[in-house]
């Protein structure tokens, strides 16, 4: 059981390193947290694109309806899917990976990227809707 968090930590570090290699650094930006309620409201109103950056084994436990699945390990290869001209919210399990990824993207020109405080673990704890991944 302790191997899974260690694996995720290594995966997050490897993904951050991959982003650093793929994206040229620009001026650092603010990586503000967005309250989970605000992220849920933005998802419902479609006023932001919300990416669930957890890995497929985590998605299997349930995803929020309407979130786009973009595993953190694939972001470097799928950057074109993340718009620079629209609000983007990143969500992971607890907010650690989404915070690091938001910071990396903002440092490289994505000025409208934020992360959801609390992540999907808090979403599930609150009993908000979850669905099978598609």
**Catalytic residue set:** 92
Pairwise CA distance, residues 67 & 70, whole Å:
9
The structure tokens listed for 121 are 């673990």
Helix pair angle (3-22, 96-106), 10° resolution: 10
Which run of H or E residues covers position 93? none
Task: Yes or no: say if 64 and 37 are a contact pair by the CB < 8 Å rule.
Answer: no
Query: % helix / strand / coil in the chain, to the nearest 5?
Result: 45, 15, 40
CA distances from 133 to 41, 54, 58, 85, 103 (A): 20, 12, 10, 27, 26
């Amino acid at each position: 059981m302790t191997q899974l968090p260690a694996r995720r930590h290594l995966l997050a570090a490897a993904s951050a390193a991959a982003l650093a290699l793929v994206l040229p650094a620009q001026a650092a930006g603010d990586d503000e947290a967005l309250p989970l309620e605000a992220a849920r409201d933005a998802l419902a109103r479609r006023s932001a694109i919300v990416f669930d950056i957890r890995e497929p084994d985590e998605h299997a436990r349930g995803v929020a309806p309407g979130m786009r699945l973009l595993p953190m390990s694939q972001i470097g290869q799928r950057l074109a899917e993340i718009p620079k001209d629209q609000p983007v919210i990143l969500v992971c399990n607890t907010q650690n990976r989404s915070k690091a990824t938001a910071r990396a993207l903002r440092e490289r020109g994505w000025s409208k990227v934020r992360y959801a405080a609390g992540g999907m673990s808090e979403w599930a704890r609150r009993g908000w809707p979850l669905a099978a991944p598609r």
